């Protein structure tokens, strides 16, 4: 068993567990019923993520490099306060869809970015509401306010009408801010790529048209030259007569 084989064998299963985790976590935060059942489901899935992490690091050829590249995964399973980070596993499923999709690269990037940001905004809103609700002085007390705060934070607008008061909520805010900066970078790069492609296509089109016009002129010049040579031959024959 190699790390790649383990990943291929467990990729969809772990993604399904992450989806169940998301449903249980959403129910616990929003509905606030069957909390014990939700916590049991969350803890079982948490153990599954721990097993996946341990097996992955044991199968990795370069364990030191793999450990450095997966610090976020370690944090998500080691610290209960960062348990929403385990839902980032759902973002990984988009890589699978990208590999099987037939869209152009820019289309895949756009789809990946939109889906990832939407998921992160929802997770961020849940996490923020989970840690802020019931805290004295908190302004984020329901899901509507949480999703609004998550949206303005990701888009880097930051109206300031809602802000976290707990250190856990501020950690969530930092993560969403970083996501927002990355989103702006991706959107800018995608737009710039589209503009460059359009300019290149237009330039290539004009170059093709110019080349066609040049070829047509060359053809006309050759015909004119042949005509002139024929006239010269006719004049020469008339002079001999």
Q: CA–CA separation, 164 vs 135, rounded Å? A: 10
Q: Are 83 and 42 in contact (CB under 8 A)?
A: yes
CA angle 115, 120, 159 (to 5 degrees): 115
Could you give the CA distance from residue 134 to residue 142 in angstroms, rounded to a whole number?
10
In degrees and rounded to multiples of 5, residue 140 shows phi and psi of: -100, 100
Across the chain, which has 241 residues, the per-10-residue mean pLDDT values are: 84 82 87 88 85 89 85 69 58 49 58 75 87 88 91 83 87 83 73 76 80 84 83 78 65
d(CA 171, CA 124): 10
pLDDT per residue as tens digits for the range 158-201 = 787 888 998 888 888 888 888 778 777 776 777 777 777 777 87
- Distance between CA atoms of residues 181 and 37, nearest Å: 37
Q: What is the dihedral of CA 167, 87, 109, 11, to 10 degrees?
A: 150
């Amino acid at each position: 068993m190699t790390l790649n084989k383990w990943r291929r064998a467990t990729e969809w299963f772990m993604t399904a567990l992450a989806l169940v985790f998301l449903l249980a976590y959403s129910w616990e935060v929003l509905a606030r019923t069957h909390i014990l059942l939700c916590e049991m489901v969350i803890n079982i899935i948490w153990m599954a993520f721990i097993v996946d992490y341990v097996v992955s690091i044991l199968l990795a050829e370069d364990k030191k490099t793999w450990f450095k590249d997966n610090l976020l995964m370690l944090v998500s399973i080691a610290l209960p306060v960062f348990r929403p980070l385990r839902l980032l596993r759902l973002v990984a499923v988009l890589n699978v869809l990208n590999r099987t999709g037939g869209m152009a690269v820019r289309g895949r990037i756009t789809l990946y970015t939109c889906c990832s940001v939407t998921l992160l905004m929802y997770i961020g809103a849940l996490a923020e509401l989970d840690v802020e609700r019931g805290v004295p002085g908190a302004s984020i007390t329901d899901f509507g306010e949480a999703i609004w705060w998550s949206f303005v934070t990701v888009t880097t607008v930051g109206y300031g009408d809602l802000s976290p008061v707990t250190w856990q909520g501020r950690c969530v805010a930092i993560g969403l801010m970083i996501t927002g900066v990355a989103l702006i970078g991706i959107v800018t790069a995608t737009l710039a790529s589209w503009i460059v492609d359009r300019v290149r296509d237009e330039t290539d089109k004009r170059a093709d048209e110019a080349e066609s016009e040049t070829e047509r002129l060359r053809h006309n010049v050759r015909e004119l030259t042949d005509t002139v040579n024929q006239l010269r031959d006719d004049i020469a024959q008339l002079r001999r007569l």
